[in-house]
Amino acid sequence: MTILGFASPAVAAPPPPTQNTQIIGGTQASQGEFPWMTRLSMGCGGALYTRQIVLTAAHCVDRTGADSSITATLGVVDLQSSSAKKVRSTYVYRSPAYDTTGGDWALVKLASPVSDIPTLPIATTAASNSGMFTIAGWGAAAEDGAQQRYLQKAEVPFVSDATCQSQGGDYTGLVPEAEICAGNVDDGGVDACQGDSGGPMFRRDEAGQWLQVGITSWGDGCARAHAPGVYTEVSTFASDIAAAAGRMTTT
Ligand code: ARG
């Protein structure tokens, strides 16, 4: 999670050496706060979608097919905790449309179902594609920064497709149906970053339950002004995701 800070303007004295400067906008998640958060060993995030399937980003995986190369770590904020559940993958499904019409999502089937970990439901309509979102991950805490040991979380506001596209550069190519933007457009400062990809963007639904609306996909750098984070628009792909997960149950 990039929670980029800024150098303070001229100050009288340097901060004491123990002070952690320049981290703003995000904080460490508490144990159990986002129980479905999953770390994938290729350096991505994910969310537990069924007891045995993790939803992540297509760009985090190579191809559809049998794959035992990924280790999923679940059930912990601290990746080095001795109570972490570690489960191998058996199969990967990569959205076949990703390379053409977009849709940065993939499913990772685990070797065995995990117990005692709630799943994160996905948005099936656009009703929750606005407002404030929560993002979380173990990715870099600054552009080009190190991956994190402890799960980080932050809140980012919805950005409309028109505003997102008008930022220019890569944003001009935004696919409105397939992608949803979020971040502080004018100021930056809070964002996902490298290693957060595949992790969920989520909010509370009308009933107060967590609902996944996005999958961390890309951005121009991290937390820069006029460069919001871009997320897979989960509601657009909800039926494809459910169908693929249903087929995977028997693979
Ligand atoms: N593609 C990155 C990854 O693989 C995630 C980038 C998200 N960037 C952003 N500025 N929101 O981890």
pTM score: 0.91
178-235 pLDDT tens trace: 999 999 999 999 999 999 999 999 999 999 999 999 999 999 999 999 999 999 999 9
99-131 pLDDT tens trace: 888 899 999 999 999 999 999 999 999 999 999
28-40 pLDDT tens trace: 999 999 999 999 9
Mean pLDDT of 149-163: 97
Distance 117 CA to ligand 1 centre (A): 26
Does some domain include residue 146? yes
Does some domain include residue 48? no
Q: Ligand 1: residues whose CB is within 6 Å? A: 139, 191-197, 216, 218-219, 222, 229
Does some domain include residue 193? yes
Q: 104: which residues sit within 8 A by CB, 6+ positions away?
A: 57, 58, 59, 95, 98, 178, 179, 215, 217, 218, 232
Q: What percentage of residues in the chain have a pLDDT greater than 90?
A: 86
Mind telling me the catalytic residues? 59, 104, 197
Count of CB atoms within 10 A of residue 18's CB? 5
pLDDT band at 250 (very low <50, low <70, confident <90, very high): confident
Q: Which of 41, 184, 216 to mutate to test the pocket of ligand 1 (most atoms within 8 A of CB)?
A: 216
Residue with tokens 């404030």: 132
Domain count, the chain: 1
Distance 59 CA to ligand 1 centre (A): 10
Q: Which residues form the domain of 137?
A: 126-235
Does some domain include residue 112? no
pLDDT of 152 above 70: yes
Nearest to 202 by CA among 111, 101, 131: 131
By the 8 A CB rule, do 236 and 189 touch?
no
pLDDT of 9 above 70: no
Q: What is the pLDDT of residue 234?
A: 98
CATH for 227: 2.40.10.10
32-85 pLDDT tens trace: 999 999 999 999 999 999 999 999 999 999 999 999 999 999 999 999 999 999
